[in-house]
Every structure is written in structure tokens, then in C-alpha cells.
Amino acid sequence: MNDECWGYYANRRVLITGGLGFIGSNLARRLVGLGSQVLLVDSLVPDYGGNRFNIAGIEDRVTVNIADVRDPHAMNALVPGHDVLFNLAGQVSHLDSMADPFTDLEINARSQLFILEACRLHNPAIKIVYAGTRQSYGRPLYLPLDEEHRNRPTDINGVNKLAGEWYHLVYGHAHGLRTCSLRLTNTYGPRQLMKHSRQGFIAWFVRQAVEGREIQVYGDGQQRRDLTYVDDVVDAFLAAGASDAANGQVLNLGGQAPISLLELAHLIVEIAGQGSVRLIPWPDERRRIDVGDVYSSYELIQRTLGWQPQTPLRAGLTRMVQFYQEHRRHYW
């Protein structure tokens, strides 16, 4: 990635669905700094991560529209006139998808067709970058995962996110839309949902440590994951949005190196200066959808767009812990 990529966004009109959420708001902040005209679309559904405090300090430099991607009329009205669409709206809880599969279907699959149809009919020149998930692969047959690995999700969320991803690819092949998908690994950093533990373990680990509580790790804690700091994820989205080299592609993101969950928990406690760690047996509902060791190869996106993770894990976690120590009242 280079200055040409960043310069691309000056005066561009950019639409972010899920724009008041974790990744969307961090992306908006960077785009504002690059001189973009940014429209944030978010439903602010409770427990999904949208938070007005996420845009504190840039409120007067972005436009916010409270709308739901499940509303085709809203999408038809909002899509026209934009150069780039970062499609981040989604239901990301694996547990919630198993308890309420139809809501997950509506948000992660059916609504994606509303968005894509709005683009096809009202703004076919727009560039679309979709937030996919590594969960689409399911339990790994080999590691690190690459884009050739077969897809066999272990939960409803993985199925519906995979469907949403394929809708984007089909609209690219069949209708000529400029679409691509970034398959995210475990993203972490400031402005993440902290109210509950259903949207990933990292934020919950950090909350427990910041509160001086016990981090509970399932099983023997040796299952390994890779993590990507949110600023690096933003870099990947910006690079994909600015380059037609990504069109029609699915690209993995990844972390610098995998770490066991037990090691990660102890590292967070060390950084926070408080809290503790305890191993506990697996709950049945989590064991059934766990994928074991899993981490991704980012070789393809590195070759295609020049992206690779830049933020060391300790440095990223330190920034995250410090953010919530200062702003916890807006997230707890």
C-alpha cells in the first residue's frame, strides 16, 4: 500500500453500512482524515455494537443515517451517488445465530440482496468491499487456512455470512459490479462491543481484566488463534476499496502469529495490571461450534494489495486496554 491508495479517498463519497459499529467507526475516522465525504448507516439495534460514542470527535464531519439494511427502500435511497461502499453491517454472534437463525438469515443473507440490488439498479459503478469471515471455513483441514480451503461452516452465522459473500461475488460475475470480500480473523481494538461475550472472546477477556475479574478459558486453553488489530483491518479495507485488483476476489486477513487463548488471557491480565485466569470445562453450546486451532494465511492479499498486519499483539492490546480504562462508561 502506498500514498496513491490513501490519496484515492480525497473527496470520495463513501458509504459504510454498520458505520457506528466497531470496524465501521474506525474506518470512518480514517476516511475523514483522508478527506472523504462519509455517510454512516446503522440500525443501532441493541447488542449489535452500534454506539454513537464511537464517532465522538468527528460527529460534525460525517453524516449519520439511522436505517436498517433489511429495508430495501432505505438502501435504494442511500446507495446512489457514492463511489465506495464498505459493507460491514451484520449479525456477528455465532451463539445468537444458533438461538435465532431467522434473524441471522435476514441480516446476513437476505439484506445483502437488498444492498446489491440497490447498487445494481441505482449505482452500478460503485465499488463494494464486503466484510466476510474466516468462520466460513469451519474446522480446518490444514493450517494456516488459505483461500483454497473448502468451506464447511460449523454454525448458522458462518452459513449466512458465506451466502452473503457469494451474493457479492455472483453480482460481480453476472452484473459487472466491482465487488470483493475480506475474510476477517479475530479483530480487536478500541470501540468494540463490550456489553456481553457473544460477539467474540477478545473483548470479553479485556473487560474482565479491566474490571479486575477472572478470565475464564475453556478446556486446556491451548487452542490457537491469530488476531488482527483494527487499524490494520482498516488498512486492508481501504486498500481493497481503492484497487480494482481485488475485484471478484475473496482475500484472507490474518495476524502476525497465532497465540493460545491461555497465553492471550495471561498477556491481557499482565497489560491491565489486574485480573486473573482460570481454566473451566467447555459449555456444551460452545463446544458444538468450536473450530479448534485456526489461523489464516494472508499471502494472497499481500501479493494482491501489498497488505500485511503491522501492529504487534502486545502494542495493540495495550492501546485497547488503555482505551477502555478511559472510556469504559460508554461501553459497559
What distance in Å separates the CA atoms of residue 255 and residue 311, rounded to the nearest whole number?
9
CA torsion sign for 323, 277, 194, 296 is positive
Q: Provide the pLDDT confidence category of residue 182 given band limits of 50, 70 and 90.
A: very high
Helix/strand/coil (H, E, C) string of 151-201? Answer: CCCCCHHHHHHHHHHHHHHHHHHHHCCEEEEEEECEEECCCCCCCCCCCCH
CA of 161: how far to CAs of 105, 252, 275, 278, 331, in Å? 9, 14, 35, 33, 26
pLDDT band of residue 1 (cuts 50, 70, 90) is low
**How many C-beta atoms lie closer than 10 Å to residue 81's C-beta?**
12
pLDDT at 66 (0 to 100): 97
Q: Facing residues of 130 across strands?
A: 87, 181
Q: What domains can be seen in the chain, in order of their start residue?
A: 3-189+228-255+294-311 (3.40.50.720)
pTM for this model (two decimals): 0.96
Quickly state the pLDDT bin for 285 (edges 50, 70, 90): confident
Enter the C-alpha cell of residue 271. Answer: 497489560
Task: Work out the average pLDDT over 19-31.
Answer: 97
Q: For the segment 211-267, what is each residue's pLDDT rounded down to a tens digit? A: 999 999 999 999 999 999 999 999 999 999 999 999 999 999 999 999 999 999 999
Strand ranges (E), the chain: 13-17, 37-42, 62-66, 84-87, 127-133, 178-184, 186-188, 214-218, 224-225, 227-229, 250-252, 259-260, 276-280
- pLDDT tens digit sequence for 264-280: 999 999 999 999 999 99
Whole-number Å distance between alpha carbons of 305 and 307: 5
Query: Given the C-alpha cell 492501546, which residue does it identify?
Result: 319
State residue 12's pLDDT score: 98
